Structure 1
């Protein structure tokens, strides 16, 4: 998987212009060697600021992983979001052979090890979350998706007054997810301290108790990780 897989996108950021359109995202979980991180990020910046990259039909983010368990060796995520299925038509063709694209590919192959590539889609998503830096992602195995989604919508509504500068999102895994993972619960906040304060308020609320009582019998937490967005591209 150590080839550059880029016709690019952003980790959970679909700005849907048409409510009838279903968005999609791809995230690459990668390990970037410390010595080459600066070269890789600089070449990504140079490519994404080129006229060619600005024509890509994706919003793209580079995320730094801050919290992960011993089974997770990833240091970053490179995520791409597409507004609809048509935007994925040329996915996998790689970066164009421009000077910026060639240098990016060289640095990617030299410094980046792809651990996982995941295709997914947002089921319930607040575009306002795209401007928030910190995220926590819970990986779930869900047995009854409809019941879980209904409980999620109610939880989101009931906890909305406690969610200043924060959002919740529910996403489905389509391909490439870890064993048993069917859905992702994404919590976003402006920064880590803000996330922790909001978590303290919500975790002891009736809204949370109701949500857990409805979803615990039909779901299992398989993993969780946290990080922050460090680069955003094509967001305008």
Structure 2
């Protein structure tokens, strides 16, 4: 199922990318792991990536949902990189066979796939996610993407927010393919749950956030907010 869903997403993104100017793209796959299978799944993915090599850009993250995660999914895979430089550095028939073998092994430890999507990175700040394994995501339904994006970029680049985030990563992205019912997302990285709570308390109390909320009033709906922990990154 993993291979099938990621293949469908790749085709969707290829077809839709012609009308987008963004450089960053991603594929996401959520699944419900069998009880006690997390370490085995991580080991299978580690062995696979040790064999197939590095990515041209971006990488491959495996995360575990934490606060307010989906009802069924327990983990997700995020594959991301530059649109024109996406995927593994070395592509071959042998690597394709290795992926098929990986899929067969993973299926023994996954109850079911629960959700998949693809999309684009629109804006980012900070010094990357290394060192910030605790992640938060806000899923949005935006009716006026241009206005919302302009307001959010102004917000994230404000001196106040830059000072509060202090090199922590902050991203805005859009959903281009999948069955999520959401159009945009905001993603941020933190050292741990305490860092997340304290940082967001300061963000929500900031003048920059209040202004962004006023500017975007009526054109977006917060669909859900959740946190997750990054278990492994392959680059």
TM-score band w.r.t. shorter chain: 0.7 to 0.9
Aligned residues between the structures: 217
Partner of residue 166, structure 2: 164
The runs of 5 or more residues in structure 2 that have no matched partner are 11-20
Task: Detail structure 1 runs of 4+ shifted over 3 Å in the superposition.
Answer: 1-7, 55-58
Residues 59, 45 of structure 1: alpha-carbon distance in 2 compared, 3 angstrom cutoff = same
- SS of structure 2 residue aligned to 1:87: coil
Partner of residue 106, structure 1: 104
1:103 CA displacement: 5.0
- SS of structure 2 residue aligned to 1:129: coil
Judge conservation of contact 1:65–1:226 (CA < 8 Å) in 2.
yes
1:22-42 residue CA offsets vs partner (Å, 9 max, x unmatched): 121001111111232222211
**Structure 2 matches for 1:85-164, cutoff 5 A?**
85=84, 87=86, 96-98=96-98, 101=99, 104-112=102-110, 113-126=112-125, 128-131=127-130, 132-158=132-158, 159-164=161-166
Residues 120, 166 of structure 1: alpha-carbon distance in 2 compared, 3 angstrom cutoff = same
1:216 CA displacement: 2.5
The worse-fitting range, judged by mean Cα deviation, of 146-155 and 37-46 is: 37-46
Taking the aligned partners of 2:121 and 2:136, their CA distance within structure 1 comes to: 15
TM-score by structure 2 length?
A: 0.81
1:51-109 residue CA offsets vs partner (Å, 9 max, x unmatched): x243666511101111225x5211111110121246369x9x996324xx465222211
Taking the aligned partners of 1:21 and 1:171, their CA distance within structure 2 comes to: 10
The worse-fitting range, judged by mean Cα deviation, of 34-43 and 193-202 is: 34-43
- SS of structure 1 residue aligned to 2:96: coil
- SS of structure 1 residue aligned to 2:86: helix
TM-score by structure 1 length?
A: 0.81
Judge conservation of contact 1:138–1:225 (CA < 8 Å) in 2.
yes
Taking the aligned partners of 1:118 and 1:192, their CA distance within structure 2 comes to: 26
Residues 128, 177 of structure 1: alpha-carbon distance in 2 compared, 3 angstrom cutoff = farther
Residues 114, 183 of structure 1: alpha-carbon distance in 2 compared, 3 angstrom cutoff = same
Partner of residue 17, structure 2: none
**Structure 2 matches for 1:22-61, cutoff 5 A?**
22-50=23-51, 52-54=52-54, 59-61=59-61
Judge conservation of contact 2:55–2:87 (CA < 8 Å) in 1.
no
Judge conservation of contact 2:116–2:178 (CA < 8 Å) in 1.
yes
